[in-house]
Amino acid sequence: MGAGPSFRQRPHDCLAGRVVSANAMCYTAAEPGIPELRFRIGGTGKCQEAAMPIQPRLEEITARIQARSATTRGIYLDRMRRATEEGPARAHLSCGNQAHAYAAMTEDKPVLAAGRAANIGIVTAYNDMLSAHQPYEDYPKIIREVARELGVTAQVAGGVPAMCDGVTQGRAGMELSLFSRDVIALAAGVSLSHNCYDSALFLGICDKIVPGLIMAAATFSHIPAVFVPAGPMTSGLPNDQKSKVRQQFAAGEVGRDKLMEAEMASYHGIGTCTFYGTANTNQMLMEFMGLHLPGASFINPGTPLRDALTKEAVRRAAAITALGNDYRPVGEILDERAFVNGIVGLMATGGSTNLVLHLPAMAKAAGILLELEDFAALSDIVPLMARVYPNGLADVNHFHAAGGLAFLIGELLEGGLLHPDVKTIAGDGLYRYAQEPKLKDGALVWEEGTGESLNDKIVRPLSDPFQPIGGLKELTGNLGRGVIKVSAVASDRHVIEAPARVFHDQNAVKAAFQRGEFTTDTIVVVRFQGPRANGMPELHSLTPTLSVLQDRGLRVALVTDGRMSGASGKVPAAIHVSPEAACGGAIARIRDGDIIRLDADAGRLEVLGVDLLMRDLATADLSQNEHGTGRELFACFRAHVGAAPEGAALVV
C-alpha cells in the first residue's frame, strides 16, 4: 500500500490539536442534555481522510449499481426529503389523535403532549420461541427508563412475528419462512404508520427478521433507525460435534436419545445460535452497514457491556432525530455504498447464502437495484478472511475473541475494499467500526481494535487470507442461474460431475437413502422447491444425509431451486436455481441419469450432452403445499412472489 502510516496508525494523528479522553465527546450532540458517544481514540475530520483510497474495481462496481439505480433511488430520496420537510409527525395529529396515542403512557404524558422532545418508536420481534430474541422481553422497560433520563419518551410501536427455522426445519412450517420476511416488513410498517415517532429502535436478530425490518425502516426513510442486537449465547457443545452426532443418527449409528442430548447441549441458553448462519450474518451486516453501534453484535446477553450498549443505543436514537442538529435519516445511511460494504462483509466472512436473497429485497426498499452479477463481482475481489462454523470449527464467540468484526473492518478499510466515507448511526465514517466498545470505570468508551489476528485459524489479515475470493459464487449455464457457498466446501469438491437423481420432495431423498439407493457418485436434484412452488423452504435437513454419503467416499452434490440454511456447508450445493421448476425453468427438464456438471471454480452449472429445450417440462402435484400449518393464508404469496435473483419478494 506504499510508504507512510497505516490506517490503524493514523487515527492517533487525529489527536493533535484537540483534547480526547475517556469522557471526550466525539460527536456534536443532537439535543441539549443528550450525551454523545465516547471514543478514546479516533474521531472526526482527519481520521476519515486518513483511510486508504478504495480499490478501483470496488469503485467500478459501486458506480454500476448507482447508475442502474439512478431513477429509482432519485424517486426514493425525493420522497424522503418531502417527508422530512413536513416536520415532526406528531405536530400534524389532532388533539384526539394524540390523546389516543398517549393514553397508556402514564408518567410520560406531559412530555408527549408538550411535543418538544423526541419520541422513540420501538419495533420488537420478542418471543420465547427464539433463544436469540428472548432477551428482548425486558428491553422496552429499559429503553423507556433511559429515555426518561434523557428527557425524551419511548413507546412500543408494535411487534412483528419471528419464526425459528431451527424449529421448522424439515417441517411444513418452513414453507412460511421466507414469506415471513415480507410479513415482518408489513407488520413493522403498520407499527410505524401511527406517525408518532422521531426515530425508531428495531429489536431483531434472526434470519428473516432483520431483512424484513430493514425493508420497513427503508420505507420510512426519513425516520432515523438504530438496530439493537441482543448477542449470541455462550458456547456450548461445539458445532462440529453436534453435526457429527446428526450424521450418526442419520446413518442409524446412534439413537434419538443421543441426538437429543447433543442438540440440547449445543442450543442451551438465551442468545443467538453460535454458528455463523443467517442470524449472525445479519449481525455482521448491520455493523458493516452502520446500523448497529460499533462492536455491538457479538456481546453475550446479560453482561454489563451488553446492557451498556443497549442503553447507549437509546441515547443514539434520541440524538439523531430531526429535532436536533445531527439528523441521520435511515434513507441516507442505506445508500449504494452501504449495500456494497455489506456484500463485502458477506464475502470476507463466508456468510449465509440467504443474504443473496435478502439483500436485493432490502436494497429495493431503498430504491437500489442489486443484481447477482454484483455479488459475483465483489466475490472476485474480496478474499475469505474468516473461518467460523460451518466454514471452520470456531463459533462466533471465538471469532469475536480473535479480533472479530473490528479487525476485519480495519483490514478491509486499510486494503481499500470498503467505502470509508459513509454515514452511520455512530457518525460519519466507517472507521468507527474498527473500534471496540469497552467499559472503563463504569463508562462506555470505544477503543481501537486489535491490529492483528489473535487466532489465525479463525481470522486472518488481508495479506494472508484463507482463500483469494469470497465465500459465495454465482453459477450460470443451461440450467439457469444459481448460487453456491464455497467457503465451507473442500477445494477438491468444487467440481462435481455425476448422474442425476431427481426428486420433488426432500423426504423422498431421505427415504431413498434409508433404502440404500445411493451407492455411486450422484447429484441429487430436488426441484419444485422455489418461491412459487412452496415458498422456497430451506433443505438443511438433507445435510446429514448428504454428508454421510460424502464421508463414505462418494462424490455428491445438491442442485435445487430451494434454499439451504446459513448453517449448511461441506456438501456442494447449487441453490436458488432460477427460473424455478414451477415457472418452467430448465431444472424441470432434468431426468434421472442425466450427467450434471457443477463447477464452482468456473461458475458453471449445466447438464451435459442434452438439448433440454427438446424435452417436455416435468410437472408436480403441489396441492399438498396449499394447506396445513397456516399455508392456506399464503396462497397469494405463492401466486405473486418474485423470482429468487430479485429477492423472492412480494412487497417491494
Per-residue pLDDT reduced to its tens digit, 339-394: 999 999 999 999 999 999 999 999 999 999 999 999 999 999 999 999 999 888 89
**Top-confidence range, 41-55, 150-164, 556-570:** 150-164
Identify the H or E element spanning 57: helix 56-68
Q: Which alpha helices (DSSP H) does 366-475 contain, by range?
A: 372-381, 396-401, 404-414
Question: CB neighbours of 544 closer than 8 A, spacing ≥ 6?
Answer: 243, 246, 247, 249, 250
- What digits encode the pLDDT tens for the residues 210-261? 999 999 999 999 999 999 999 999 988 887 888 888 888 888 898 988 888 8
CB 540 within 8 A of CB 568: yes
In the chain, what are the helix, strand and coil shares in percent, each to the nearest 5? 45, 15, 40
pLDDT single digits (tens) 628-645: 999 999 999 999 999 999
Task: Evaluate the CA torsion angle 591, 593, 599, 602 in order and state its sign.
Answer: negative
pLDDT at 127: 95
Q: Residue 567 has what pLDDT? A: 66
- What is the percent of the chain where pLDDT is above 70? 91
Q: Is the pTM of this model over 0.85?
A: yes
Q: Which of 42-51, 68-77, 205-214 has the lowest mean pLDDT?
A: 42-51
Domains and CATH numbers, the chain: 46-234+269-448 (no CATH), 236-268 (no CATH), 472-646 (3.50.30.80)
Please give the Cα distance from 415 to 555 (Å, whole number): 38
Nearest to 338 by CA among 433, 197, 446, 223: 433
Q: What is the pLDDT of residue 145?
A: 97
Distance of alpha carbon 71 from alpha carbon 367, whole angstroms: 8
In this prediction, residue 566 carries a pLDDT of: 64
> Does 19 have pLDDT greater than 70?
no
User: Residue 43: is its pLDDT beyond 80?
Assistant: no
**What pLDDT does 10 receive?**
35
Integer CA distances (angstroms), 420 to 288, 289, 387, 415, 615, in order: 10, 11, 25, 11, 52
For the chain, the average pLDDT equals: 90
Q: Report the pLDDT value the prediction gives residue 35, as an integer from 0 to 100.
A: 54
Contact 418, 285 (CB under 8 A): no
**Alpha carbon distance 332, 217 (integer Å):** 12
Alpha carbon distance 247, 53 (integer Å): 47
Average pLDDT of the residues in 494-501: 98
First to last CA, the chain: 41
Q: Measuring CA to CA, how many Å separate 120 from each of 143, 189, 210, 531?
A: 9, 15, 19, 36
What's the pLDDT at 9?
Answer: 40
How confident is the model over 135-158, as a mean pLDDT?
Answer: 97
Q: What's the confidence (pLDDT) of residue 600?
A: 94
The dihedral of CA 247, 248, 252, 256: what is its sign?
negative
**At 319, is the pLDDT very low, low, confident or very high (cuts 50, 70, 90)?**
very high
Nearest-angstrom CA–CA distance, 192 and 156:
10
Average pLDDT, integer, range 48-67: 85
Residues 88 and 329: beta-carbon distance below 8 Å:
no
pLDDT at 297 over 80: yes
Question: Would you tell me the crossing angle of helices 56-68 and 70-85 to the nearest 10 degrees?
Answer: 70
Low-confidence winner among 9-13, 242-246, 499-503 (lowest mean pLDDT): 9-13
pLDDT 10s digits, 303-312: 999 999 999 9
Distance of alpha carbon 188 from alpha carbon 165, whole angstroms: 20
pLDDT attached to residue 503: 98
Residue-level pLDDT at 259: 86
For the cut 60, the answer to whether the pLDDT of residue 401 exceeds it is yes
Q: Roughly what angle, to the nearest 10 degrees, separates helices 256-266 and 239-250?
A: 160
pLDDT at position 33 over 80: no
Tell me what pLDDT residue 519 has: 97
Which pLDDT does position 24 carry in this prediction? 30
pLDDT at residue 37, rounded to an integer:
62
Its sign, for the CA torsion 502, 554, 376, 475, is: negative
The mean pLDDT value for 442-456 works out to 94
Residue 601 is classified by DSSP as T
Contact 200, 192 (CB under 8 A): yes
Report the run of H or E that residue 341 belongs to, with start and end.
helix 336-349
Average pLDDT, integer, range 391-414? 95
Contact present, 617 and 588 (Cβ < 8 Å) = yes
Cβ 529 vs Cβ 560: under 8 Å = yes
Residue closest to 31 by CA, chosen among 124, 113, 107, 119: 119
